[in-house]
Amino acid sequence: MASAALKTRYTPEQFLALERRNEFKSEYYNGFITAMAGASRQHNLIAVNFSREISSQLKDRPCEVYGSDMRVCVSPTGPYTYPDVVAVCGKPHFQDDEQDTLLNPAMIVEVLSPSTESYDRGDKFAHYRRLASLREYVIVAQDKVMVERYTRHGSEWLLAELSRLDDTLRLESIECQVPLREIYSKVELPAEPAVP
């Protein structure tokens, strides 16, 4: 009888020590490390477009924008994730002197991939909601024009959906406005089916 392979459990400290030496990124939760897959061309274009648009609007304000190499820690025990875009206004707080693990994001953006969509919408968002600093969570589809913005209002999260290139995403947490046409700039989307 073959036994199931045992997965090694790691402490957050062990994960960070390994992660800082690795040439690839991994996420961490509940003692387990999961390697991250590479992203598609569309995914990368959307993340860079989004980052560029908000960075230009925040350049003269006390806010910072980070790309997918900035790790976010939800709590002292994890999870540790790598959002596609992260913004913080005011003083950023980091886990330690390495300043590579952010603790207080105001806004997080995830670009959906087929392999991560259910996690980004479900468990990952449930973890992110535990961050007291987080005011907005934005999900961007890469296979169609669809942006979902979740905004915290007290203990509730309100959803706004945008699905036209002429729409503008209003980010209350960082006081920015991003046209969807800019988010999807140079992204090749499937043609919409003709309406009879």
Specify the CATH number for the domain of residue 174: 3.90.1570.10
**Greater confidence, 99 or 23?**
99
Cα dist from 144 to 92, 111, 131, 147, 194, whole Å: 33, 12, 29, 9, 15
User: Burial letters for 150-165: b for 16+ Cβ neighbours within 10 Å, e otherwise?
Assistant: bbbeeeeeeeeebeee
The rounded distance, in Å, linking the Cα atoms of 95 and 105 is 12
Contact 124, 80 (CB under 8 A): no
Least confident of 43-47, 74-78, 131-135: 74-78
- In a domain, residue 125? The reply is yes
- In a domain, residue 191? The reply is no
The confidence band for 77, taking pLDDT boundaries of 50, 70 and 90, is low
What's the pLDDT tens digit per position in 9-59? 888 888 888 888 888 788 888 888 888 777 889 999 999 999 999 999 999
Mean pLDDT of the chain: 90
- Residue 1, pLDDT > 70, answer no
Q: Which pLDDT value is given to residue 6?
A: 56
- Residue 2, pLDDT > 80, answer no
How many domains are contained in the chain?
Answer: 1
86 closest CA partner among 157, 159, 135, 156: 135
What's the pLDDT tens digit per position in 136-193? 999 999 999 999 999 999 999 999 999 999 999 999 999 999 999 999 999 998 776 5
Range of the domain at 149: 12-183
- In a domain, residue 78? The reply is yes
